[in-house]
């Protein structure tokens, strides 16, 4: 079997167009455009690319973009004071602080300072808790995007065995909660998991969020499995690859996401969907 490709670029475009249409009808109805503040501290080159893309796409869908760029030396107290001001600003519906932050800033403190109603990354304990309790409000963008891609397959998820590799707060854990909410039977694997290949072979759905190039081998993939590759890794030759050995896995899977062009573009699309949702929530 050769897998069908889950084209994240195309699905992200559809989501973005849906958001743009809803923003336009909001504005035509006399309501304020959703506003997204993206806060960047320091000059991490990868973060600068992400932030630039987020701001550009925000404006492209008719939302207002608020840019707050600070040097790496910014004191934690000043960053928290900026978040307080954004929390109080009614034109700002979503706040995103780009991670990673410089070492002297506690990211948990920063995430918890954001008003949960404006936490469009979905990282605040309130939003994570809502997801755990099966009534999500603002959902972590990357797992949310993965769920949108899974919906594209048209395959019912209920009863499927989903194997998630990775248990980070931004990928693995919320992904497992999303899949559980979709009534999958979920196994979460991490670096202490025994017989990882044996467990992955049981997966009807496999989600890899490890951060190691081509780590998941083709012969770990069960025939007909759906494979979602969250990993973004650069090889020594400078090529962008996922966590899954794509060429080999494609021969066994029924559906698979490519890297690049799979999960990556979905993350920004779901960020915009969350910002629209935050604006709608603020409407009351
Ligand atoms: P992370 O915080 O480093 O977490 C990696 C996870 O993989 C950890 O839970 C770790 O287990 C597990 N792991 C490491 N080695 C393993 C092994 N040998 N066997 C089994 N599990 C192992 O990384 P992350 O932030 O979740 O990101 C994961 C990947 O996704 C990265 O490539 C990142 O660039 C990518 N990513 C992509 C997007 C996107 O938009 N597409 C968004 C976010 C992240 P322990 O917990 O035991 O250490």
* Rounded alpha-carbon distances, angstroms, from residue 205 to 18, 47, 170, 253: 27, 30, 19, 9
Could you give the CA distance from residue 205 to residue 44 in angstroms, rounded to a whole number? 34
Q: Using a 6 Å cutoff on CB, does residue 209 contact ligand 1?
A: yes
Banded model confidence at residue 210, pLDDT cuts 50, 70, 90 = very high
pLDDT at 1 over 90: no
CB 184 within 8 A of CB 157: yes
- Could you tell me the two tokens for 84? 């307080």
- What's the DSSP call for residue 101? P
pLDDT of 284 reads 85
Which segments of 38-193 does DSSP mark as H helices, in order?
45-60, 76-88, 107-113, 125-132, 141-152, 172-181
Give the model confidence (pLDDT) of 164-198 as tens digits.
999 999 999 999 999 999 999 999 999 999 999 99
Active site residue 9: no
Give the model confidence (pLDDT) of 100-149 as tens digits.
999 999 999 999 999 999 999 999 999 999 999 999 999 999 999 999 99
Q: What is the mean pLDDT of the chain?
A: 97
Residue percentage of the chain with pLDDT more than 70 = 100
Which segments of 96-195 does DSSP mark as H helices, in order?
107-113, 125-132, 141-152, 172-181
pLDDT of 246 reads 98
**Which is the catalytic residue, given 40, 98, 118, 119?**
98
**Which is the catalytic residue, given 22, 119, 121, 160?**
121
Domains and CATH numbers, the chain: 32-115 (3.40.50.10860), 141-263 (3.40.50.720)
- Could you tell me the two tokens for 52? 């630039």
- Could you tell me the two tokens for 25? 């009808």
pLDDT of 244 reads 98
This prediction has a pTM of 0.97
Could you give the CA distance from residue 32 to residue 92 in angstroms, rounded to a whole number? 10
Could you give the CA distance from residue 135 to residue 138 in angstroms, rounded to a whole number? 10
Active site residue 54: yes
The DSSP H or E segment spanning 25 is helix 8-28
pLDDT at 227 over 80: yes
Q: Using a 6 Å cutoff on CB, does residue 233 contact ligand 1?
A: yes
The half-sphere exposure of 117 on its side-chain side, counting CA atoms within 13 A, is 13
Q: Using a 6 Å cutoff on CB, does residue 196 contact ligand 1?
A: yes
In degrees to the nearest 10, what's the CA dihedral of 50, 53, 59, 62? -90
């Amino acid at each position: 079997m050769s897998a069908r490709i889950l084209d994240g670029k195309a699905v992200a475009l559809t989501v973005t167009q849906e958001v743009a249409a809803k923003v336009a009808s909001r504005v035509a109805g006399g309501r304020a455009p959703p506003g997204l503040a993206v806060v960047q501290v320091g000059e991490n080159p990868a973060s600068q690319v992400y932030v630039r893309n987020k701001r550009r796409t925000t404006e492209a869908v008719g939302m207002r973009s608020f840019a707050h760029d600070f040097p790496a030396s910014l004191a934690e107290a000043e960053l928290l004071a900026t978040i307080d001001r954004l929390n109080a600003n009614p034109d700002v519906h979503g706040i995103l602080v780009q991670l990673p932050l410089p070492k002297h800033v506690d990211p948990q403190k920063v995430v918890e300072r954001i008003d949960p109603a404006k936490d469009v990354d979905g990282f605040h304990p309130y939003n994570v808790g809502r997801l755990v309790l099966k009534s999500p409000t603002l959902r972590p963008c990357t797992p949310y995007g993965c769920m949108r891609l899974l919906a594209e397959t048209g395959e019912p998820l209920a009863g499927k065995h989903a194997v998630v590799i990775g248990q980070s707060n931004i990928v693995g854990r919320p992904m497992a909660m999303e899949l559980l909410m979709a009534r999958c039977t979920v196994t979460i694997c991490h670096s202490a998991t025994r017989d990882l290949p044996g467990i992955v072979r049981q997966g009807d759905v496999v989600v890899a969020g490890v951060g190691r190039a081509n780590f998941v081998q083709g012969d770990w993939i069960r025939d007909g499995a759906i494979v979602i590759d969250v990993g973004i890794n650069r090889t020594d030759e400078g090529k962008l690859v996922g966590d899954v050995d794509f060429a080999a896995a494609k021969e066994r899977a029924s559906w698979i996401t490519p890297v690049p062009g799979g999960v990556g573009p979905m993350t920004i699309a779901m960020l915009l969907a969350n910002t629209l949702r935050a604006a709608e929530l603020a409407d009351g």
